[in-house]
């Protein structure tokens, strides 16, 4: 699915991909203010807003099918994550406590958190958008990181009854949510983005199971690195 039969408004490829990038920016940058509004005015818990933002960021790959490959401009798909990398570093070092990103993307309101898991996430997104552009390994890494790791703490912290601890506190319910979210997102996004011959449901389910195990044994924050590494490694081994 690297090409489209026509471009938007018959634009040259570069301008077509630039327009898709603009749509991606509109989508990604609309999420924090929405979460900020819900946190401030409707008492949305900070941890929920953080994970909704996490899921939405991972879902930005839904714009990949609109990019036309074979031209340098398809790498514009990572532009929004490159901008967020700069913003997270700036905000992690200098933001005020009431900054929108601090309120909606951190667990405790400590701006330094933006320099850990959140920053790792956007760095992984840039790697997946370049080295693994429209490849199942990169698509699964972002899908499972976004949806699996986004749903796990939401379910685990509220409904988790069966707890376990390896390197951090987890729950069986949270891990099951990770597995279900990863399988569903992996199947959906690989089917949406990748070439039809690369779609292998059994392989995706096995990789989701591996990612679930890795998430269960990973420390907090570091799982934004360990999960995509495990997914990409497993996709090649299998």
Per-residue pLDDT of the chain (238 residues; tens, 9 = 90+): 454 445 666 788 999 999 999 999 999 999 989 988 898 888 888 888 888 999 999 999 999 999 998 889 999 999 999 999 999 999 888 888 778 777 777 777 788 888 888 899 999 999 999 999 999 999 999 999 999 999 999 999 889 889 988 888 889 999 999 999 999 999 999 999 998 999 999 999 999 999 999 999 998 879 999 999 999 999 999 8
Number of domains the chain contains? 2
Q: Which domain holds residue 144?
A: 135-238
In a domain, 128, yes or no: no
What is the per-residue pLDDT for 3?
Answer: 45
Q: Which residues are registered as beta bridge partners of 163?
A: 171
For 97, the enclosing helix (H) or strand (E) is none
Q: 83 and 179: one domain?
A: no
Q: 2 and 117: one domain?
A: yes
Q: Which residues contact 4 (CB under 8 A, 6 or more apart)?
A: 66, 68
Q: 86 and 145: one domain?
A: no
Q: 105 and 213: one domain?
A: no
Residue 104, φ and ψ in degrees, nearest 5: -105, -15
Task: For the chain, list the strands marked E by DSSP.
Answer: 163-165, 169-171
In a domain, 85, yes or no: yes
In a domain, 129, yes or no: no
What is the per-residue pLDDT for 1?
Answer: 44
Q: Tell me the whole-structure pTM to 2 decimals.
A: 0.90
Q: 6 and 62: one domain?
A: yes
Q: 102 and 40: one domain?
A: yes
- CA dist., res. 118 & res. 192, Å (int): 26
Q: 144 and 236: one domain?
A: yes
Residue where one domain finishes, among candidates 70, 103, 123:
123
- CA dist., res. 175 & res. 197, Å (int): 30
Q: Which of 84, 76, 81, 85 is nearest to 20 (CA)?
A: 76
What is the per-residue pLDDT for 7?
Answer: 66
Tokens found for residue 126: 């840039």
In a domain, 87, yes or no: yes
């Amino acid at each position: 699915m690297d090409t489209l039969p026509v471009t938007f408004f018959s634009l040259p490829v570069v301008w077509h991909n630039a327009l898709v990038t603009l749509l991606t920016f509109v989508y990604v940058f609309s999420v924090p203010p929405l979460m900020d509004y819900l946190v401030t005015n409707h008492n949305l818990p900070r941890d929920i807003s953080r994970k909704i933002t996490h899921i939405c960021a991972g879902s930005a790959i839904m714009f990949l099918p609109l990019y036309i490959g074979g031209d340098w401009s398809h790498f514009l798909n990572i532009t929004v994550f490159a901008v967020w990398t700069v913003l997270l570093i700036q905000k992690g070092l200098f933001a005020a406590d009431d900054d929108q990103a601090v309120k909606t993307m951190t667990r405790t309101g400590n701006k330094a958190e933006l320099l850990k898991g959140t920053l790792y996430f956007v760095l992984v997104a840039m790697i997946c958008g370049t080295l693994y552009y429209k490849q199942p390994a990169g698509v699964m890494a972002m899908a499972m990181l976004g949806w699996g790791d986004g749903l796990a703490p939401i379910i685990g912290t509220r409904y988790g009854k069966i707890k376990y601890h390896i390197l951090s506190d987890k729950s069986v319910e949270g891990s099951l949510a990770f597995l279900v979210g990863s399988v569903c997102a992996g199947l959906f996004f690989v089917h949406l983005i990748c070439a039809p011959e690369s779609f292998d449901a059994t392989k995706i389910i096995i990789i989701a199971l591996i990612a679930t195990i890795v998430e269960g044994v990973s420390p907090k924050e570091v799982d934004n690195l360990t999960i995509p590494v495990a997914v990409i490694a497993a996709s090649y081994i299998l």
